[in-house]
């Protein structure tokens, strides 16, 4: 009986700790891509303002860059889901 109780407590501890870990992990995973996308879009807006005729090309390249940068944040999100629910 005591053994079972101890096991339940340990399981609850593991659940709680994995929830904390998932939350902190995703928070950290969002920092880099957040900075990156902000910098990227800022530069793209600057480029478009300086040279409006190149706006189409800049926009395409900007979306490409966002896609690659954002992938890191999304991988972080997937890890969060895996830790929390899998």
Partner 1 sequence: MLALEFPPISHLFEWKDLFFKGNEYFAFNKVALLCVISALLVMAFFLAASRKQALVPTGVQNVGEMAYGVVEDNIVVEVMGEKGRPWTPFLASLFFYILFLNLWEIFPFIQFPPTSRMAIPLFLALQTWVIYLVVGFKHQGLGYIKNSLFPPGVPAALYLLVTPIEFVSVFIMRPFSLAVRLFANLMAGHILLVVFFVLAAALWSKTPLIIIWPLPVLVGIALTGFELMVAVIQAYIFTMLTAVYVSDSMEAHH
Task: Show contacts with partner 1 in window 15-34 (CB under 8 A).
Answer: none
To the nearest 10°, the Cα dihedral for 81, 18, 35, 61? -20
Residue (of 50, 47, 73, 75) closest to 59 by Cα position: 47
Give me the least distance between CB of 30 and partner 1, in Å please: 12
Return the residue matching tokens 């904390």.
Answer: 20
Work out which of 10, 54, 78, 82 binds partner 1, going by CB under 8 A. Answer: 78
Work out which of 13, 14, 24, 57 binds partner 1, going by CB under 8 A. Answer: 57
Residue (of 22, 29, 24) closest to 75 by Cα position: 29
Binding site for partner 1 (CB under 8 A): 56-57, 60, 63-64, 66-68, 70-71, 74-75, 77-78, 81, 85
């Amino acid at each position: 009986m005591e053994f079972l109780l101890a096991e339940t407590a340990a399981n609850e501890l593991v659940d709680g700790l994995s929830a904390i870990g998932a939350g902190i992990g995703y928070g950290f995973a969002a920092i880099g891509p957040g900075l990156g996308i902000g910098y990227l879009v800022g530069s793209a807006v600057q480029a478009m303002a300086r040279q409006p005729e190149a706006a189409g090309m800049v926009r395409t390249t900007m979306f490409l860059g966002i896609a690659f940068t954002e992938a890191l944040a999304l991988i972080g999100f997937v890890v969060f889901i895996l830790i929390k629910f899998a």
